[in-house]
Amino acid sequence: MPVRSLTQSLLRWPEPEQILNLVHLWAVQVAAEHPGLERVGLFGSYGRGDAGVGSDLDLLLIDAGSSGPQHQRLLAWPLAELPLSCDALVLTPAEHAALLASSSAMATALQRDSRWLWHR
């Protein structure tokens, strides 16, 4: 979501805090339509706090109502409404807990980098 400066012809990348606020607002809106949604967070560069120009969103949705394969789960979410391009992971609470209990690299990254922006 680069935005044009009012006084220059250059595009500037939005500040990370602006992105975090916009993702929070998105989460509030989608939660009204998804009663099983329990938490929305970011991991990766926005989770760690070191996002910069060109960073995308790594979104984590904890949804008790999710089922089916990951690619089908993603279809239920209006990811195109987010302020930046996004890679999303939709997990049930049990799947999230099992993942965090594993010794995988993904579990380590989520434990280290997750930043929760919204919870029911």
**Side-chain-facing half-sphere of 83: CA atoms under 13 Å:** 21
Question: H/E element holding 28?
Answer: helix 16-33
Sketch the domain layout of the chain as residue ranges: 3-119
Report pLDDT for 67: 95
Give pTM, 2 decimals: 0.88
Residues 69-89 have pLDDT tens digits of: 999 999 999 999 999 999 999
44-53: pLDDT as tens digits: 999 999 999 9
11 pLDDT exceeds 90?
A: no
Token pair in block for residue 39: 């938490």
The arrangement of secondary structure in 3-119, i.e. its CATH architecture, is 2-Layer Sandwich (3.30)
| All residues at 6 or more sequence positions from 42 whose CB lies less than 8 Å from its CB, including other chains | 20, 23, 57, 58, 59, 60, 114, 115, 117
Q: How far is CA 55 from CA 2, 62, 116, in A?
A: 11, 22, 18
* Statement: residue 7 has pLDDT above 90: no
